[in-house]
Amino acid sequence: MTAWKQLSLSFLLLVAGIAAVVALAPGAAGILRKAGVPQTIVAAITHDDNAKAEKSGNAVEAGARRARNVPLVVTKAVVNGVVNDRLSAIGTGDAIRSVVVMPQATGTIREILIKSGDRVSQGQVLARLDDDEQIIARGQAEVALKSAAEKSQLYRNIKSSVSRIDVFDAEIAEQGAKLALQSAELALKRRDIVAPIDGIVGIVPVVVGDNVTTTTNIVMLDDRSEILVDYWVPERFANTVKVDQPVEATSVALPGRIFSGAVEAVDNRVDGASRTLRVRARIDNASDELRAGMSFNVGMRFAGETYPSVDPLAVQWDGAGAHVWRVVDGKSSKVRVSIVQRNPDAVLVRGDLRNGDLIVIEGLQRMTEGGEVRFARDVAEAREVITQ
């Protein structure tokens, strides 16, 4: 082999080795320069790789910039919320029947037959007044009636010997004596103070020996087999509350207990000062756990009105009013809304929203009409990107 052929072969092997080093070793261009390889050869070998790397790097950087310009957001679906579906009011309970017992005559109390807490029946004697005079008056009436009856009978037997006027007067006298006896018996009966209703005896404020009149309070009776609760509802429920509508009541005296009942009556007018309507509910008290005068928290449920419910963070404001950002097919759009009711965890709104619509709650600062959005996995990720 001639010398120039050997030299050419050696040069080709050298170039091939340098190319292999450049392909397999990162930063090979610097190593070749330090080894004394001419710059022209190094540039020729590494030119294509640098161009490819530069092109690839530009594409990645451009993609990253484009991704950073698309807002990263967190969304939450619209759900249906109900307003005016329940009512809670404070009311005062009263026995279904309460009677203050007073004597029907004046006198001195001779006997008291009841004590506080006793359950009594209608017509039962509760106390008695002194009745000596009334007993005597009844005896006199009985004697007068007996005399008048005998005289009347005698005159009827001897009609031929007496005038018809005398017979008539005798009969009238007999009827008058009967009425006098009835009056005496009634006066004697009224010396007994009786229960006008079935009920439970309250505290007895009188004692034996007290002189009483027809205005003296002897005792109060409560029929608390059922409790009536009066409460007031806002004017907007005036056409919603109906008789026999179910109610639930709770009492401070019995925490955790719920008592069921129904609307007994609804007032016929709204109070002009408070703009409220009076309602009366009847609650069963067969177990006798409730007392008249207790305060009750009365609850009622209604069908209510349905509106879209969104997260409070979603509601934004501008010069035209409130709005939310809805995302459809990865693009955002502004939806105008009006506030119906604010709750701690949701806002009920009126607007062109449907159940299940995705509403942006994080990343709102960079939202634009018709702009693309990216979905974050959670709120923390969105906030981290936003603050960068």
CATH number at residue 268: 2.40.30.170
What pLDDT score does 78 carry?
Answer: 92
125-129, 269-273, 276-280, 362-366: the lowest-pLDDT one: 362-366
Task: Show the DSSP H helices in 25-160 as ranges.
Answer: 28-34, 39-69, 132-157
Q: Domain range spanning residue 34?
A: 3-69
pLDDT of 360 > 60? The answer is yes
**What does the pLDDT average to over 292-308?**
88
Residues 202 and 121 in one domain: yes
- Choose one of 144, 177, 212: the last residue of a domain: 212
Q: Which amino acid is at 104?
A: Q
What pLDDT score does 13 carry?
Answer: 63
C-alpha distances (whole Å) from 90 to each of 175, 210, 229, 251, 281 are 61, 41, 9, 10, 12
Assess if residue 192 is contained within a domain: yes
The helix (H) or strand (E) run that includes residue 295 is: strand 295-301
What digits encode the pLDDT tens for the residues 312-321?
Answer: 999 999 988 9
Q: What's this model's pTM, rounded to 2 decimal places?
A: 0.58
More confident residue, 259 or 57: 259
- Choose one of 196, 212, 228: the last residue of a domain: 212
What pLDDT score does 239 carry?
Answer: 86
Residues 256 and 195 in one domain: no
Is 348:383 a contact under the CB 8 Å cutoff? no
pLDDT of 153 > 70? The answer is yes
Give the N- to C-terminal CA distance of the chain in Å, as an integer.
Answer: 69
Residues 179 and 207 in one domain: yes
What pLDDT score does 192 carry?
Answer: 95
> How many structural domains compose the chain?
4
pLDDT of 339 > 70? The answer is yes
Assess if residue 155 is contained within a domain: yes
Assess if residue 371 is contained within a domain: yes
Q: Which CATH number belongs to the domain containing residue 362 in this structure?
A: 2.40.420.20
What pLDDT score does 96 carry?
Answer: 93
Look over the chain and give the mean of its residue pLDDT values, rounded to a whole number.
83
